[in-house]
Structure 1
Amino acid sequence: MNYFELFDLPVRFQLDGQALSEAYRRLQMQFHPDKFASRPERERLQAVQQAARINDAFSTLKDPLGRAEYLLSLQGVDIRGEQQTLKDPSFLMQQMEWREQLEEIPAAADVFAAIMAFERELKQASGDYYGELEHQLDAGRWSEAADTVRKLKFMAKLHTELERVEDAQQEF
């Protein structure tokens, strides 16, 4: 049973977050290990394993990037944990430009304004890529979707680095 079936959700990128949360709570109540405390050890172990699977499934489906990677894995395209380089020259150029922008932020006249502007730019670009990703997944264009996920993973790392720059500024 895949994660979507576990939560009784359609197998697609766009999902109802409320339905996911409600199904998660229902399953957690049903399989919570405390309910099996007086049961034989085998049943207790199975409950713990099922609760762990429910938690993993929930965190995977809740996160759009994790959900996209999981959808790709269901199609035999497993990119989780890979370090493959993209072959998209325009995105590679954009990566270099974003890296330069990030490096220049600490020297900006108004560091916080530079951080906010860069964050808006990343958010806009990520939104555009997520829109593309949804269409690619819906159309079964797995290879293109995998490349878009790779781009989004880079952008997520870049956003994390931006947060570090911001945290470093707040320490002063």
Structure 2
Amino acid sequence: MNYFTLFDLPRKFNIDKKLLSQNFYKLQLKFHPDLFINDSESKKKIILEKSIQINKGYKTLKNFLNRAIYFLCLNGYEVKKETLLLKNNDFLIRYFSLYEQLDNLKENNFNKKELNNLEQIIQKKIIYCKKKIELEFEKTRYKKVIKIISELLFFEKIKDVLKKEYNIYLRQIN
């Protein structure tokens, strides 16, 4: 089942998120398992599977990265998050310095100014990657999208590591 069809959305990367949510709730009202509690076991099973499909589709289309990977898949490109970064060595070499900055932050007890600076750098890179992905999807340059997704994954990962390390630091000082 094509999730764009399921939610009555045009098959394009940029979607109307409000319409997605509205159609999701309409489908939930129609196919929620609690509404079929008195039906046969076979009907309940079908409804449960449909409800799972609706939830999975909604989560996929709502999330920028998941929607990008799904859209690539619909267009014949198999993308696995786990291996994407490994295929973009030039990028990794260029931005590995962000991990060095993170290490420096830890050594300096997460100096607030340095922390804010690094967070801003990472957030700007994430926003830039997302805009580039949207642009490349419009131009149907799917191979470029894949490369940019690998970059976005890197920035998202370092953002998560930074948050995790900072939380560990905060627990240690409290």
- TM-score when scaled to structure 2? 0.91
Structure 1 runs (4+) greater than 4 angstroms displaced: none
State the Cα RMSD in Å.
1.5
Q: Is the CA contact (8 Å cut-off) linking 2:36 and 2:44 kept in structure 1?
A: yes
Q: Which residue identity does 1:40 align to in structure 2?
A: S
Residues 38-58 of structure 1: CA deviation (Å, up to 9, x unaligned): 111111001111111111111
Shift of 1:137: 1.1
Name 2:28's counterpart in structure 1. Answer: 28
Shift of 1:117: 1.4
Name 1:165's counterpart in structure 2. Answer: 165
Identity %: 27
Cα gap change, 1:109 to 1:164, in 2 (>3 Å): closer
Name 2:96's counterpart in structure 1. Answer: 96
1:63 equivalent to 2:63? Answer yes
Task: Within 5 Å, give how 1:133-144 maps onto structure 2.
Answer: 133-144=133-144
Segments of structure 1 that go 5 or more residues without pairing to the other structure are none
Counterparts of 2:89 and 2:80, CA distance in 1? 20
Name 1:48's counterpart in structure 2. Answer: 48
Counterparts of 2:47 and 2:109, CA distance in 1? 56
SS of the residue 1:113 aligns to: helix
Name 2:127's counterpart in structure 1. Answer: 127
SS of the residue 2:168 aligns to: helix
Count matched residues: 171
Q: Which residue identity does 2:87 align to in structure 1?
A: L
Counterparts of 2:26 and 2:39, CA distance in 1? 20
Q: Is the CA contact (8 Å cut-off) linking 1:108 and 1:114 kept in structure 2?
A: no
Q: Which residue identity does 2:51 align to in structure 1?
A: A
Name 1:10's counterpart in structure 2. Answer: 10
Counterparts of 2:111 and 2:169, CA distance in 1? 8
Q: Which residue identity does 2:30 align to in structure 1?
A: Q
Which has the higher mean CA deviation after the structures are superposed, 101-110 or 47-56? 101-110
Q: Which residue identity does 1:118 align to in structure 2?
A: L
Q: Is the CA contact (8 Å cut-off) linking 1:13 and 1:134 kept in structure 2?
A: yes
Q: Which residue identity does 2:149 align to in structure 1?
A: V
- TM-score when scaled to structure 1? 0.92
Counterparts of 1:110 and 1:79, CA distance in 2? 36
Q: Which residue identity does 2:42 align to in structure 1?
A: R
Shift of 1:88: 5.6
Name 2:114's counterpart in structure 1. Answer: 114
